[in-house]
Amino acid sequence: MTPLHPHQPPHQKPEACAFVIFGVTGDLTHRLVLPSLYNLAAGNLLPDRFCIVGIARKGMSSEQLRVNLMEGLRKYATRPIEDEVAQRLLQCVTAIEADPKEPDSFDELKERLAKLEAARETHGNRLFYLATPPAAFAPIAQQLGRVGLLKEDGKAWRRLVVEKPFGTDLASAKKLNDQLLELVTEHQIYRIDHYLGKETVQNILVLRFANGMFEPIWNRHHIDHVQITVEEKLGVGTRGSFYDATGALRDMVPNHLFQLLSLVAMEPPARFDAHTVRSEKAEVLSAIQPLTEEEALLNSVRGQYKAGLVGDTELPDYRNSKDVNPDSATETYAALKLTIDNWRWAGVPFYLRTGKALGAKRTEVAIKFRQAPFAMFSCTPIDTLAENYLVIGIEPTQSITLQFNTKIPGPTIRTDGVQMRFNYKDYFQAEPATGYETLIYDCMIGDNILFQRADSVEAGWKAVEPFIEAWKKAGRDGLHSYEAGSEGPKAAADLLARDGRSWRKLA
């Protein structure tokens, strides 16, 4: 099988710019940011005039930083490293000290950056990447704003990339938005969510809107319900302190799962540009039916894993994990039932689930179509009819699967469920990637279609706030346990069973 259009137009190269990384020696930079920059360099997709400025700890020279980054690249690269490409990338790295607790250091950063920009001929275009803990977002941005490094003068662009989590609840998200928007305009902020860098996630838009066969049936008349699943085999690992203060709901739902929900449920955009697409996504999240705290408890399940075997790995109880409170009521599993109040989706439930220490790693969107009338099959066992699903697989397999019924060969009418599957790896050849390449490239060319806007962030937190408050008040009451390596708590199955539905089984 070959692509219908094998010769695609080449990507445009970004304009010259300085790429300034706060948290340059941290885990995120080593695991994702630098390997992505390397992959872009290998694909000839970095600017011709380019420099990387690493905001490093005191006493670190540029050469020491290059050695540090090279060690990280060798450890986390997604493809074999070509020395010539790596050296070309790392030779443009410069270490500069700056700490928001020492405001004078930002005045020095401004001076050194100006000299570097002149030498590198980057024309004043700057991308500031905050690969730091969330508590540092506002202080760093405020110091950059104070010294004028974020101000656009009409000749050069200045962009601010902010990692998740963007707030921990509605109030903190609003506060952070307000703090940043005092310094920059919305078009300068790139709130990054690595899920939107995944090819299959981006393909949801193409699947829906570039194929005339799907959009006419993409509504309440033909779709019974939607399941969105993000499940992990890993336990809490070494992130006990962070995770115990966050939990599965805050960690995954307002960002990753809601990004998938908004792509599936949004109205067709009038134009395929950032403003229009992001406006439609924000509309969907704003249309999620608000719940009381009592309704939130009724339409949700939370669980916490206990000791069990995941593959060949024995995991201890969550509460026995390092840096976790022995009496913790933090959920490691969350399942929600949501509805969207608009014409397209009225009456169609959206079931979301996410959890850790489960039997398989899987991220998928499953669209369940309404059952066909059974009258013509009255002489056959109705329960043999397979459910009609369109499944968009995101991890570990990137695929699109359509499940439908067909007749078994023979003189009598007997049916069986079959699948048609499209696997990306069978159709397209692509180098292994981190998933950040597209996002970083889009930051440099100024395309923020894949990035959250302030109203979307706040709408997401508003939708989950009743669950957060209800679970906080309930404490350990209603917190279900499940064995590590299982499919999650039984109560999650009951959540759908009472509607006469069931989750797709783990593979």
Residues with active-site annotation: 256
- What's the half-sphere exposure (Cβ side, CA atoms, 13 Å) at 323? 11
- The DSSP letter of residue 120 is H
Instruction: Give the chain's length.
Output: 507
- The answer to whether residues 265 and 344 touch, using CB atoms and an 8 Å cutoff, is yes
Q: Is 335 in contact with 503 (CB distance < 8 Å)? A: no
Token couple for 59: 């006493």
The Cα 44–Cα 405 span in angstroms is: 47
Number of H helices, E strands in the chain: 17, 17
Alpha helices in 429-453 (DSSP H): 437-445
Do 370 and 222 contact (CB within 8 A), yes or no? yes
β-bridge partners, 129: 21, 161
Which of 492, 264, 274 is CA-nearest to residue 394? 264
Q: DSSP letter string over 224-259? A: EEEEEEEE-S---TT-HHHHHTTHHHHHHIIIIIHH
d(CA 288, CA 463): 7
Which residues, at least 6 apart from 470, have a Cβ–Cβ distance to it below 8 Å? 293, 294, 296, 297, 300
Non-local (6+) Cβ contacts of 113 within 8 A are: 18, 20, 53, 96, 126, 149
81: which strand partners?
none
What is the rounded CA–CA span in Å between residue 253 and residue 257?
5
Query: Which residues are paired to 420 by β-bridges?
Result: 402
d(CA 16, CA 45): 11
CB 226 within 8 A of CB 366: yes
Q: Is the peptide bond before 10 cis (omega within 30 degrees of 0)?
A: no
